[in-house]
Amino acid sequence: MEIKQGARKPPAAPNAEGDTLGRRLIRRLSQGDIGSLPVLLGLVLIAIIFQIANSNFLTPLNLTNLMVQISAVGTISVGVVLILLLGEIDLSVGAVSGFTSAVMAVLSVKLGLPGVVAILAGVLSGFAIGLFQGWWITKMRVPSFVVTLAGSLGWQGALLWVLGSTGTVNLNDAFIVGLANTRLNLWAGWVIGLLVVIFFVTNSILQRSRRAKIGLPAQATAQLLTKTILISAVVLAAVAIMSVNRNPRSSIAIEGVPTAVIILLVIIVLFNFITTRTQYGRSIFAVGGNAEAARRAGINVDFVRISVFVFGSTLAAVGGILAGSRLYAVNQSSGGGDVLLNAIAAAVIGGTSLFGGRGSTWSALLGALVIGAIANGMDLLAFASSVRFIVTGIVLLLAVTLDSITRARREQSGT
């Protein structure tokens, strides 16, 4: 077809081979689509600052301990991410994590049930709580803020009632305490790491091929190669760090990857698959973006809302069980303190929007790493808890401000 003089040529596909990585980065920055870049840069800055202040911060032993420490909050935060994708909030996840871990502890220690049964009962308790709260929010049309705030108070009282006069229940079941205090065999960690790399590379190539076949813009080869190398390096470096813990007080000890880290990563990968590769996951984004439009498109909005709150409370239960396992005990303060705020802050700091419809389960890991690194570094420097709370609050405020600015720029650019 002959192009008339003065007519505009169709723009090139944004991900075409000729479109360089630098140009795409500049375009995304101009549109406010900066993804996880601020979080990653923040993590690098935090690591540099604390390493200069204390040379033990980046040791394999401390980094491994850091990953184990964030496993519980990270797991809870994955559920918070799902709820935030709907544009809702759940203020009860902290109390739910404490109550469900207490259910597990009492069944295991006081009633003598096997660890697997006790854990299953705790998880099912979280499922039931999410079903109740989700139904109340959806069917009774009560704001999630009010329902979950009431739940936070109620489940905290239920925790005290379940524990009774003892106040603290020490866990002694090998399976329960082993969830967060066991290391995989050295070879198993490397096998898992290599499988993750192979899966990522294969999946990226297949996805690029599928998009090219149906005429959609495909990821440039240079970008795909760069992304593959970086992610592979990060995965294998993480396995190496967690496989060799150099304790300055003893000789070199070879240990495998902690099981708590594996559990957290499996949960993140599973729900990332659900939210990005399934019709149900796309429905979550649709409801969070515009519930009425989703309803008119034939999506069962009520089912999506209730089920997401079920996932949120169930993951809170899993996180509470991991926390109890790591500490070898459940007590009256389980799920209290800063658990709720850290879980929500991790999701937001990691890049999940408070306005709904945008985010990723990986943001739970990134945000938990930021919060955990700040807490860990300040503990090494013997800072007061007050300083840690202030710094975490500042980081959260900056993250929400960035989210608001990004949202405004995306609306202006029409993306």
Cβ atoms within 10 Å, residue 410: 15
The average pLDDT across 185-212 equals 85
Res. 343: pLDDT tops 90: yes
The average pLDDT across 247-260 equals 67
- Residue 380 sits at the vertex; the CA angle it makes with 379 and 386, to the nearest 5 degrees, is 30
Question: CA-CA distance, 245 to 242, in Å (whole number)?
Answer: 6
To which residue do tokens 């060799």 refer?
244
The average pLDDT across 140-158 equals 96
94: closest CA among 153, 142, 169, 179? 153
pLDDT in tens, 28-46: 555 545 567 788 888 899 9
pLDDT in tens, 82-121: 999 999 999 999 999 999 999 999 999 999 999 999 999 9
Sorting pLDDT into bands at 50, 70 and 90, what band is 16? very low
Check: CB of residue 149 under 8 Å from CB of residue 92.
Answer: yes
Question: CA-CA distance, 189 to 5, in Å (whole number)?
Answer: 63
Q: Which residue has the higher pLDDT, 71 or 202?
A: 71
Sorting pLDDT into bands at 50, 70 and 90, what band is 249? low
Q: Would the CA dihedral through 380, 47, 57, 186 be positive or negative?
A: positive
Res. 253: pLDDT tops 70: no
Res. 21: pLDDT tops 80: no
Q: What percent of the chain has pLDDT over 70?
A: 87
Domain boundaries, the chain: 38-44+51-182+258-402
**CATH architecture of the domain covering 38-44+51-182+258-402:** Orthogonal Bundle (1.10)
pLDDT in tens, 258-279: 999 999 999 999 999 999 989 9
323: closest CA among 126, 66, 70, 91? 70
Res. 220: pLDDT tops 50: yes
Query: What pLDDT is recorded for position 20?
Result: 52
Q: Which residue has the higher pLDDT, 14 or 104?
A: 104
pTM for this prediction? 0.88
Instruction: Classify the phi-psi angles of 113: left when phi > 0, otherwise alpha if psi is within -120 to 50, otherwise beta.
Output: beta
To which residue do tokens 């899966």 refer?
199
Query: What pLDDT is recorded for position 359?
Result: 87
